[in-house]
Amino acid sequence: MRAMARTSLVVGFLVFSGCLAERGSMEMSSLQEGNATATSRSTAGADAIGSPTSYNIGIYSRTIWNGTLVQGFVSWGEDDVIHYECREADPSGDLPGYPYVSVGGWSTSYGIIDIIGGMGPYSFVVHGIARNGDSVFELFSLDSQLGGYEFTPPQSGAGTFGIAIAGGGPYLVPTARVPLAPPRRVELYRGSSLGTDLLATITSDGSMLYVLSRAALHLWSVPRDSSLPPVEYPLASNQDLLSGAKEIGMRGHIDEGDKVYVFVDYGTLPLSVLLLSDYDGDRYLDTDELMDTSQYEAFGYPGLWLTDYMSDPAVLAPY
């Protein structure tokens, strides 16, 4: 993951989205790799199992939110357990850093492959492999705690995350709140029809998951509503590029709504960027466009991104 091609990918990304360099974006640099692979065992989707002293106790870790007021982290290993840590800043500014910490841990019934953020510090999607080989995508959502920070996602291409104190009263430190409850869990997908060797990203409101198969060369829109089937996006001439996909993510554009970006790297520069747009805000992709980083800059996109859906504003919003 830290080989030359990976380094080139990070450099290319920072060229046209410098704001992520400051925050250490999840998409580019926060996955720490070890020497073991995820395995699957049946744990019946248990509730919270304990409180780790630090989130970084697994083989792998992921930053799901890196904001001014709140940071969210997860880690996991071979035991199919997700370790969660939320760090909060002091809203008065009297204490430096992120002095207030909440933790939790939850088991899964599948081997964990990756964890996807971008919906605020209290929600994430777990990508796993079941014992029968099926791919699993499960949404974890933690409820806001009275007196803690509360987030509202942006509308499609129309703004940034809002943040306030839950309940509208004063801020309470975590030890003065009701204890963190187990997350609400929704299985977004389980099956084999999407292919293998998958990458995924999700909309900021959690309503649509986009899944790319590098093996099957398909890109799917998977609605949160399980009664609706996954829809394949017809990539046509750009389909073969998916075999070289390195990253997939989402950002909001000031004029053109949400966009899914796919970084394609064949070990040469300039990097290719496959940009897919949702112009009408229905969460289904409408068009795709292939460009290199120079063309991307010429389009003026770096100055027109509203948010990378990975950080919160610095000022609390009133209710």
**pLDDT per residue as tens digits for the range 217-267:** 889 999 998 889 999 998 877 888 888 888 898 877 777 778 888 888 876
Helix (H) or strand (E) holding 71: strand 70-76
**Residue 293: both structure tokens together:** 């980083």
- Cα separation, 231 vs 220, whole angstroms: 5
pLDDT surpasses 80 at 25: no
Are 71 and 120 spatial neighbours (Cβ–Cβ below 8 Å)?
no
Q: Is residue 157 part of a domain?
A: yes
The answer for residues whose C-beta is within 8 angstroms of residue 204's C-beta and 6 or more apart is 118, 119, 120, 153, 154, 161, 250, 252, 258, 307, 309
Q: Is residue 189 part of a domain?
A: yes
Burial classification of residue 43, based on how many CB atoms lie within 10 Å of its CB (0-12 exposed, 13-18 middle, 19 or more buried)? middle
- Cα separation, 105 vs 121, whole angstroms: 15
Are 211 and 175 spatial neighbours (Cβ–Cβ below 8 Å)?
no
**pLDDT per residue as tens digits for the range 161-176:** 788 899 889 999 999 9
Q: What is the distance in angstroms between the CA of the first residue and the CA of the last residue of the chain?
A: 43
Q: Is residue 313 part of a domain?
A: no
pTM summary value: 0.77
Q: Is residue 316 part of a domain?
A: no
**Residue 174: both structure tokens together:** 């975590």
Q: How many independent structural domains does the chain possess?
A: 1
Are 257 and 275 spatial neighbours (Cβ–Cβ below 8 Å)?
no
- What letter represents residue 48's amino acid? A
Q: Is residue 318 part of a domain?
A: no
- What letter represents residue 213's amino acid? S
What three-state secondary structure class fits 31?
coil
Q: Is residue 314 part of a domain?
A: no
Stretch 87-108: mean pLDDT: 91
**pLDDT per residue as tens digits for the range 40-92:** 222 222 223 333 334 445 578 888 888 888 999 999 988 889 999 999 999 88
Q: Model confidence at 15, in pLDDT bands (50, 70, 90)? A: very low
Q: Is residue 315 part of a domain?
A: no
What pLDDT, on the 0 to 100 scale, is given for residue 170?
92
Q: Model confidence at 302, in pLDDT bands (50, 70, 90)? A: low
**Residue 236: both structure tokens together:** 């046509």
**Residue 115: both structure tokens together:** 């964890």
Domain carrying residue 267: 4-307
Q: Is residue 70 part of a domain?
A: yes
